[in-house]
Structure 1
């Protein structure tokens, strides 16, 4: 090899080596890893952790059901509002939000009657449907049930993803005490042809305890048969009137923060 060619090859090798070293070298200036834009939006948190922050949509504040409609025929919701709470009216059927959502954070509080009777699934049964895709019980359900000293199938107890995923622990308070759900819902994404691009995920805290940790859903809830997906763009949030004869569930302090 001629001396000039050898020199050029060595120079090229040195340049490549220096570039590789520059890519792997740790920065020495702390400013190199600082991010200044975009600045997060400022909101005001609630005075209590369960209170809605300033960017929340209040779905029920104890006064009326103006944000809700019947799931079957989209008429005004007529569950019983009293003493700052709303109690399920099974004759009226399921109710859902008038507004549709995709990804969101939700806070909801619910109460099983203190004098609840029955056992298993017939003991304060209701449900929180994270995305209601039909007038009946279609959608993605977090179970509501009295699971305090009440044995049932574990993927059907309180805070389970119904018929899919049991809660990590049973964090149920006794009947008559208020329960809370704090939910982060990541909606499934569908391609233009209706095929699934990415599944739905849900994180649930029951009474402040993590019980579903970014759980991947296998599809919508079905009482009989395996879960499966069907495409949708956005959907209301639904509360179930299960028709449980053992006692009606009550709700209060419901708010949502869209995350889209």
Structure 2
């Protein structure tokens, strides 16, 4: 069969399939997605981002004047800092470098951290040939979830974090009905894949959820090491909400109280084929009668 004839046959079969089938229409009406202009490079801030560390200094931070800043690079010093603006669910990009001169070991080497809502920490640490407890390595959800792999660059080289943080969801009573989730990419490598956070990431006690608002500051820790930061930006993210949902729709739309909503499953496809008949087990041949082991004397 020639190639043109084959392609024509494929097209005809496709049209027949469309004619015999019926397109699914949910009936849900959606707003047009907002246009966001991306940066020239994937690591550059998109048009709707808030710049936290850029070329303009540390004005976005409480306590930012405690840190050293020069030519777009902030160096941790004298204390932790937190953003003046508060955020809910966010996408964060930051670039960081541990000190080029290696001093200390374990948790005393290139240690910092990024905190969400002041409660949930993604660890920053020089994890290049630096043994420590695994849930304290770079990219760990501190004391809860080790990174799936170690993607650390050499001391002094710039690392990137791309983090998606979803806050915990509470009901009217304040009970957590959906945990916080954290996704971490370190130098483009997935370390945390929508990890369900167990509560505050404490160093001295087990994790537990504590009361806090729906928005909170983003913090950077000073742990005694001059860790450097640059090109840090944040986008607050919100699920797109439909403008109209038919009452009889079979679609299950996003709800904050997902834990109380039963998900609908697709019905099993009908089949007219008769169930396979099970083959009769083959009969085993009769075992020969055992002779009397006793010899006649």
Q: TM-score range by the shorter chain?
A: 0.7 to 0.9
* TM-aligned CA deviation for residue 161 of structure 1: 0.4
Query: Which position in structure 1 is the counterpart of 2:123?
Result: 143
Q: Is the 8 A contact 2:53 2:72 kept in 1?
A: no
Alignment of 1:88 onto 2:76: yes
Q: Structure 2 stretches of 5 or more lacking a match?
A: 1-19, 239-297
CA distance in 1, matches of 2:236, 2:46: 12
1:247-258 → structure 2 map (5 Å cutoff)? 248-258=226-236
Aligned equivalent of 1:64: 57
Quote the RMSD (CA, aligned, Å): 1.9
Count of matched residue pairs: 219
Secondary structure at the aligned position of 1:52 is classed as coil
1:28 match? 21
Distance, in Å, in 1 between the alignment partners of 2:158 and 2:135 is 22
TM-score in terms of structure 2 length: 0.70
Given that residues 63 and 81 in structure 1 are in contact (C-alpha distance below 8 angstroms), is that contact kept between their aligned partners in structure 2?
no
Contact 1:195 1:231 in 2 (8 A): no
Verify the 8 A CA contact 1:196 1:231 in the aligned structure 2. no
Matched, 1:237 2:237: no
Aligned residue number for residue 153 of structure 2? 173
Measure the CA separation in 2 of the matches of 1:182 and 1:86.
Answer: 18
Range with bigger deviation, 34-43 or 149-158: 34-43
* Unpaired runs of at least 5, structure 1: 1-26, 71-75, 133-138
1:17-47, Cα deviation, whole Å (9 max, x unpaired): xxxxxxxxxx824474698732211111000
Deviation at 1:197, TM superposition (A): 1.7
Larger-Rg structure? 2
Q: Is the CA contact 1:62–1:86 (under 8 Å) kept in the aligned structure 2?
A: no
- Choose from 132, 151, 166 the match for 1:152: 132
Paired with 1:158 and 1:209, the residues of 2 have a C-alpha distance of: 12
Classify the secondary structure of the residue corresponding to 1:77.
helix
2:80–2:219 Cα contact (<8 Å) kept:
yes
Q: 1:221 aligns with which of 188, 201, 204?
A: 201
The 3 A distance-change label for structure 1 pair 192 and 33 is closer
